[in-house]
A and B are shown apart, each in its own frame.
Chain A
Amino acid sequence: MTAYTEEYRGLVAWTGGGEVTTAFRREVAALVGEGGLISEPAQLRTYECDGLTGYRVVPALVVLPATTEEAAAVVRLCARDRIPFVARGAGTGLSGGALPVADGVVIGLARMRSVLSVDVADQRAVVQPGVTNAGISAAVAQHDLYFAPDPSSQVVCTIGGNVAENSGGAHCLKYGFTTNHVLALTFVTPDGDVVTLGGDAPDQVGPDLRAVVLGSEGTLGIVTEVTVRLLRRPEAVRTLVADFPDAEAAGNAVSDIVAAGIVPAAVEMLDELAIQACEKAVQAGYTLGCQAALVVELDGVAVEVDEEFAQVQAICRRNGTTNLRVADDAQERARIWKGRKAAFAAMGRISPDYFVQDGVIPRTKLGSTLTRIREMSDAAGLRVANVFHAGDGNLHPLVLYNGAVAGEAERAEHLATAIVELCVEQGGSITGEHGVGSDKACSMTAMFGPDDLTVMARVRAAFDPQGICNPGKVLPTPRLCGERPGPYRPHPLEAAGLIERM
């Protein structure tokens, strides 16, 4: 069976091909001013990759519009000349979703960073796409409100990127993802039209177009304003770290918490390697040598949180916890989270290089999957650190390697891909929150069949018939994926000399 239908091939066939000419550059400069234009080679390199630094492509031009109208005007020029464009926020994405297209345009939203309005009574705010995730919560904190999605990069990542990736974070177990917290979008279509998706009401009449744009990774258009839903800060928050002798015991504790009818705000797990890295980096007080540490946070109505927090502690003890650390105050809680959220960055302390994966498994398969990852890691002779959202089965295995050792990067990449495919075999997903981007486009065939992909390609073509809006992301390009169903291969753009591995 082939992985693609003929219709699919036709829909995703390359249809860009326009060129950034001197005349085009002049037209763009007239729209956004010289300050909104970057075309110096050295400066363009700043935009050659996002948080997935392995893939790099220098764009022909970077445009930084200051308003929705400017962004739309730039998109109209791109559409007229069939020039591919890629929207970009802070560039913290981990799947290469903002990887530029060679000879294409990057539209950076960094200059659009105002909180336009806050409606306290209705608990919502209208913000521009360049506002940071944490910036939203900071802007409304005085009203006891906050924006619930909290990706680990929240201090720098932007709401525009959160919308593109449908970002989650540690607390999405209870509170959901970005898609659950966005009421309306001002949206520039790939033709350059400006439309509103969603609105004042919880639902609009007809198919939910807002929802299909959320998480579409910049492939359907550009979001230039976001109306976010805000939540009232919970009355009480309680956090603990419980050490366990092994991941299975920790996993059983999580199962017991869920079985008790408790919906924690967050449940995170760190293994020995991850703890080691975090402690070296930020000294957050995790126990060195501990095989599996659980971070459990409950929030809500004080009486209930206290009651359930006691239950959680009892469950941890019953499952053989070797140490229970309860955060007594907000500072201590912040320290625990600092350790957890620094995990990826901290890997540099224990390994020169790493690949991070983002597969999801049904939570009940946690124990068996971790055992299998351990076996695969041993067989490959590579270390794998695990730090993940245990409550919803979203794994973040970090495959550690040394790029200076010949062949190790390739082995690491194969191991990382094998882990992702293991997740799909277990009934899970190739990505829980990082997105498909450039990185996992070829793995889409491991999860979706030819007809599934065909329908997704139809959706994409409905928004972007010219195929100029972030092409090559999310949906696999058959000729770049080795024309083979199933297993992921190293990115052929690399072989084609279009991108380089640093």
Chain B
Amino acid sequence: MTHIDDTAVVERPATVAEAAELLRDSDGPLLFRGAGTKQGWAGRPVDPAVVVDTSGLSRVLSHEPADMTVAVGAGMPLRDLQELLREQGQWLALDPASEGSGATVGGLLATGDSGPRRLRYGALRDLVIGITVVLPDGIVARGGGKVIKNVAGYDLPKLLYGSLGTLGLVAEVVLRLHPVPSASGTAIVAVPADRATELALRLRASALEPAAVDWTDADGGTLAVRFEGTPAGVEGRRATALELLGAGAGWSTGPDEDAVWSRLADAERQAGEGSTVAAAGTRPSVTADVAHELEQAGAAAGVRTMLTSRPALGLHTARFDGDPEAVGLAVAAWRERVLALGGSVLLRDRPAAVDAHVDPLGPSPSSVGLLRSLARRLDPQGRCAPGRLGSWLPTPAPGEDLPRS
């Protein structure tokens, strides 16, 4: 299926073979798109000649409930997959906020997006066991396999994790599944960042095994801690958890609990028109510093900020609202401080005008030579989302291959 969208041709291959043919027989920049929920992350790619829409690759290829594995086309929306798995009492243990916007499994892998329960189950990086990838020359490669335990060959599934549409098209994904826990309960307490960080570290150091610990700076700060397991197991931890969290802590289950987590997901998703979103990763223990630095960077630039954090993981999503130049300066200032704390900051969605004032990726890592070398081998003409990794992966001039090292 083909249609013209602005200047790009949008193609919707229905099979991996079609996708391979499409890539092999086309020229110019490529853009891979699932539900399109994260096309605004990182650098802005140059205008593509071809947009490859994965929605035609959305079938369940195999589901082995007793082996707790499933193979799906990359264009399968996560929420559809979860609905299907739930019939068997299983789920893909991944709960990103973008699930509600239709995010696809392939897109989630390529962007490395995750949700609160990453604390217990890991990220998609930890749940992917096999992949089919199509490189721009049309070669189709499978990596990993269909079994959970497998160390044969290089880990291509994880190599594509976080690749942001560079290197190649994620076409099929094989995943490890988990049983849906039979019970869940969430403790909530109103605390500022310092206290939230301290509590998150105490929770991690305790034997309570929380499934998720999220904090938002809204209304002076709220910490939510989720416990999962058997009904007795969840109920058994309630008193200890509430005591650990201190005075004022509450407990919710059922629809009330769902509402708590939806609010947190909305706070993270915050697709407000004109807002700028940036994500940081750090050691868990510096969460409070990350929050304070954000406040200061925002105040200094005259920009409103909001933060949601996973203080037990060290993942933070910040939102900036204000004049684009001021926002750019605030993000840059925040990044500088987060870098000093040992972390990193990636720019996500933002108005185009912000780009002039802040680099989307920040300074390149020491391994950037290896990244370029890898891109040169897998995508020698630099066709896959050129510009998405900014200066880390320079866009080659037309007809020119990527530089040699």
Determine the distance from Cα of A434 to Cα of B150 in the docked complex, in whole angstroms. Answer: 9
Determine the distance from Cα of A166 to Cα of B66 in the docked complex, in whole angstroms. Answer: 25
Of residues 151 through 171 on chain B, the ones whose CB sits less than 8 Å from some CB of chain A are: 151-156, 158-164, 166-167
**Could you tell me if B159 and A304 are in contact, using CB atoms closer than 8 angstroms?**
no
List 4 other contacts, CB 8 Å, given A197-B367, A461-B377. Answer: A177-B149, A208-B163, A209-B370, A235-B209
Asked if A471 is at the interface (CB within 8 A of a chain B CB), the reply is no
Question: How many A-B pairs with Cβ below 8 Å?
Answer: 285
Asked if A329 is at the interface (CB within 8 A of a chain B CB), the reply is no
Asked if A218 is at the interface (CB within 8 A of a chain B CB), the reply is no
Q: Number of A interface residues, CB 8 Å?
A: 92
Asked if B148 is at the interface (CB within 8 A of a chain A CB), the reply is yes
Determine the distance from Cα of A440 to Cα of B378 in the docked complex, in whole angstroms. Answer: 26
Asked if B366 is at the interface (CB within 8 A of a chain A CB), the reply is yes
Query: What residues of chain B lie closer than 8 Å to A211, measured between beta carbons?
Result: 125, 155, 158-159, 161
Query: What residues of chain A lie closer than 8 Å to B378, measured between beta carbons?
Result: 455, 458-459, 462
Stretch at the interface among A82-90, A267-275, A386-394, A487-495: A386-394
Asked if A449 is at the interface (CB within 8 A of a chain B CB), the reply is yes
Determine the distance from Cα of A79 to Cα of B282 in the docked complex, in whole angstroms. Answer: 35
Shortest beta-carbon contacts, A-B, top 8? A201-B281, A304-B233, A211-B158, A235-B207, A261-B179, A455-B141, A303-B236, A429-B150
Determine the distance from Cα of A264 to Cα of B87 in the docked complex, in whole angstroms. Answer: 22
**Could you tell me if A428 and B145 are in contact, using CB atoms closer than 8 angstroms?**
yes
Task: List 23 A–B pairs whose Cβ atoms lie within 8 Å, in order of A's numbering.
Answer: A189-B369, A196-B366, A197-B367, A200-B281, A201-B282, A201-B283, A201-B315, A202-B123, A204-B281, A205-B162, A206-B164, A206-B365, A208-B162, A214-B155, A235-B207, A258-B66, A261-B181, A362-B67, A429-B145, A449-B142, A455-B156, A456-B154, A462-B374
**Could you tell me if A455 and B135 are in contact, using CB atoms closer than 8 angstroms?**
yes
Write the B96-108 contact mask toward A (1 if CB under 8 angstroms, else 0).
0000000000000
For residue B227, which residue of chain A has the nearest CB? A301
Q: Which residues of B contact A (CB under 8 A)?
A: 42, 64, 66-69, 89, 112, 118, 122-123, 125-126, 133, 135, 139-143, 145-156, 158-164, 166-167, 178-182, 201, 204-209, 229-230, 232-233, 236-237, 280-285, 313-315, 342-344, 346, 361-362, 365-367, 369-371, 373-374, 376-378, 389, 392
**Could you tell me if B66 and A206 are in contact, using CB atoms closer than 8 angstroms?**
no
Query: What residues of chain B lie closer than 8 Å to A202, measured between beta carbons?
Result: 118, 123, 281, 313-315
Within the complex, what minimum Cβ distance (angstroms) separates B382 from chain A? 14
Asked if A168 is at the interface (CB within 8 A of a chain B CB), the reply is yes
Determine the distance from Cα of A202 to Cα of B313 in the docked complex, in whole angstroms. Answer: 7
A121, A165, A215, A444 — which one has the most chain B CB atoms within 10 A of its CB? A121
B66, B159, B167 — which one has the most chain A CB atoms within 10 A of its CB? B159
Query: What residues of chain A lie closer than 8 Å to B204, measured between beta carbons?
Result: 123, 232
Task: Identify whether the interface residues of B are mostly helix, strand, loop, or mixed.
Answer: loop
Determine the distance from Cα of A428 to Cα of B151 in the docked complex, in whole angstroms. Answer: 11
A122, A187, A430 — which one has the most chain B CB atoms within 10 A of its CB? A122
**Could you tell me if A363 and B366 are in contact, using CB atoms closer than 8 angstroms?**
no
**Could you tell me if A206 and B155 are in contact, using CB atoms closer than 8 angstroms?**
no
Determine the distance from Cα of A434 to Cα of B149 in the docked complex, in whole angstroms. Answer: 11
B155, B162, B237, B344 — which one has the most chain A CB atoms within 10 A of its CB? B155
Query: What residues of chain A lie closer than 8 Å to B370, measured between beta carbons?
Result: 189, 195, 209, 462-463
Within the complex, what minimum Cβ distance (angstroms) separates A439 from chain B? 12
**Could you tell me if A452 and B145 are in contact, using CB atoms closer than 8 angstroms?**
no
**Could you tell me if B206 and A232 are in contact, using CB atoms closer than 8 angstroms?**
yes
Within the complex, what minimum Cβ distance (angstroms) separates A489 from chain B? 18
Query: What residues of chain B lie closer than 8 Å to A215, measured between beta carbons?
Result: 151, 154-155
**Could you tell me if B365 and A207 are in contact, using CB atoms closer than 8 angstroms?**
no
**Could you tell me if A427 and B153 are in contact, using CB atoms closer than 8 angstroms?**
no
Asked if A451 is at the interface (CB within 8 A of a chain B CB), the reply is yes
Determine the distance from Cα of A119 to Cα of B230 in the docked complex, in whole angstroms. Answer: 32
Asked if A460 is at the interface (CB within 8 A of a chain B CB), the reply is yes
Query: What residues of chain B lie closer than 8 Å to A435, measured between beta carbons?
Result: 151
Asked if A179 is at the interface (CB within 8 A of a chain B CB), the reply is yes
Determine the distance from Cα of A306 to Cα of B160 in the docked complex, in whole angstroms. Answer: 40
Within the complex, what minimum Cβ distance (angstroms) separates A164 from chain B? 10
Within the complex, what minimum Cβ distance (angstroms) separates A160 from chain B? 16
Beyond A121-B201, A205-B42, A362-B147, is A436–B153 a contact (Cβ under 8 Å)? yes
**Could you tell me if A199 and B342 are in contact, using CB atoms closer than 8 angstroms?**
yes
**Could you tell me if A176 and B377 are in contact, using CB atoms closer than 8 angstroms?**
no
Within the complex, what minimum Cβ distance (angstroms) separates B387 from chain A? 13
Query: What residues of chain B lie closer than 8 Å to A303, measured between beta carbons?
Result: 230, 232-233, 236-237
**Could you tell me if B314 and A452 are in contact, using CB atoms closer than 8 angstroms?**
no
B122, B148, B162 — which one has the most chain A CB atoms within 10 A of its CB? B148
Determine the distance from Cα of A429 to Cα of B142 in the docked complex, in whole angstroms. Answer: 13
For residue A449, which residue of chain B has the nearest CB? B142
**Could you tell me if A121 and B285 are in contact, using CB atoms closer than 8 angstroms?**
yes
Query: What residues of chain A lie closer than 8 Å to B366, measured between beta carbons?
Result: 194-196
Determine the distance from Cα of A180 to Cα of B128 in the docked complex, in whole angstroms. Answer: 11
Beyond A202-B281, A208-B162, A451-B139, is A429–B371 a contact (Cβ under 8 Å)? no
Write the A345-362 contact mask toward B (1 if CB under 8 angstroms, else 0).
000000000000000111
Asked if A474 is at the interface (CB within 8 A of a chain B CB), the reply is yes
Write the A200-244 contact mask toward B (1 if CB under 8 angstroms, else 0).
111111111101101110000000000000001111000000000
The residue from B159, B206, B237, B283 contacting A200, defined by CB atoms under 8 A apart:
B283
The residue from A259, A308, A430, A431 contacting B230, defined by CB atoms under 8 A apart:
A308
**Could you tell me if B149 and A458 are in contact, using CB atoms closer than 8 angstroms?**
no
**Could you tell me if B140 and A451 are in contact, using CB atoms closer than 8 angstroms?**
yes
Determine the distance from Cα of A363 to Cα of B346 in the docked complex, in whole angstroms. Answer: 40
Query: What residues of chain A lie closer than 8 Å to B343, measured between beta carbons?
Result: 199-201
Determine the distance from Cα of A202 to Cα of B309 in the docked complex, in whole angstroms. Answer: 13
**Could you tell me if B133 and A204 are in contact, using CB atoms closer than 8 angstroms?**
no
The residue from B66, B153, B342 contacting A452, defined by CB atoms under 8 A apart:
B153
Determine the distance from Cα of A122 to Cα of B200 in the docked complex, in whole angstroms. Answer: 10
Within the complex, what minimum Cβ distance (angstroms) separates B197 from chain A? 10
Determine the distance from Cα of A263 to Cα of B89 in the docked complex, in whole angstroms. Answer: 13
**Could you tell me if B367 and A195 are in contact, using CB atoms closer than 8 angstroms?**
yes
Asked if A367 is at the interface (CB within 8 A of a chain B CB), the reply is no
Determine the distance from Cα of A420 to Cα of B173 in the docked complex, in whole angstroms. Answer: 24
For residue A308, which residue of chain B has the nearest CB? B230
Within the complex, what minimum Cβ distance (angstroms) separates B205 from chain A? 6
